[in-house]
Chain A
Amino acid sequence: EVQLVQSGAEVRKPGESLKMSCKASGYSFPTEWIGWVRQMPGKGLEWMGIIYPGDSDTRYSPSFQGQVTISADKSINTAYLQWSSLKASDSAIYYCARFSGGYGANWGQGTLVTVSS
């Protein structure tokens, strides 16, 4: 069974850094793309970026390029999403998803990030 388990909810102050994780199991992690999706409170889904763990090939949505960093450690089947300096507008739920072909076949449970002074 494919599972994506994300790290727990986070509370940070503006300007602080954050690295969240998404641990995959049940499939060949290095050979399938894994992506990140943002959902701001009461809003729709926004595609952020995607990584191929096998060679770390990474693509970002223009809206998120330079704002976040996506990485992966294939030795522990885990993908990461990180910020170096959070803003209040980064408060949202973040989902990871396994992209099998051209679609998000499996999704993590989501990680809630709250950025507030």
Chain B
Amino acid sequence: QSALTQPASVSGSPGQSIIISCTGTSSDVGGYNYVSWYQQHPGKAPKLMIYDVSNRPSGVSNRFSGSKSGNTASLTISGLQTEDEADYYCSSYTSSSTYVFGTGTKVTVL
């Protein structure tokens, strides 16, 4: 069970939009609509940002959105803000009835 593949880093200026990709296989991302995204600031626990591919939990800014095409899911952050600087992880349910995380992406606000 290999980790889902994410870019190591993505950066953008305040106000810009960035997209983080998350590539898996037909046994995880491509096979289920159970993709979620987590934000983690240094020294803090992960925080759920998107669930079931494109749903936002209550309290999460609508600047965060998710989508999926085939074996690749994506997280878009619009109107980038300094507080969005953090690590982001995708996760997917798998055909083994387990879960797998992505490799993680460090978002830098320039």
Give A contacts to B, CB under 8 Å: 35, 37, 44-47, 49-50, 59-63, 95, 97, 99, 101-110
Contacts and interface: CB of A to CB of B under 8 A. Distances in A.
Q: Which of B47, B48, B89, B96 has the most CB of A within 10 A?
A: B48
B104 interface: yes
B51 A101 contact: yes
Contacts of A61: 1, 98-100
A102 B52 CA distance: 7
B11 to A, nearest CB: 18
Contacts, number: 74
A62 B3 CA distance: 12
A44 B3 contact: yes
Q: Which of A44, A63, A103, A106: most chain B CB closer than 10 A? A: A103
A63 B100 CA distance: 11
B57 to A, nearest CB: 7
Nearest to A44: B104
Interface residues of B, number: 27
Contacts of A106: 48
B45 A95 contact: yes
Given A62-B1, A102-B34, A102-B36, A45 B89 contact: yes
Nearest to A38: B101
Of A47, A50, A59, A109, chain B has the most CB atoms within 10 Å of the CB of: A47
A59 B1 CA distance: 14
A45 B104 contact: yes
7 contacts: A45-B46, A59-B97, A61-B98, A63-B1, A101-B51, A107-B48, A110-B45
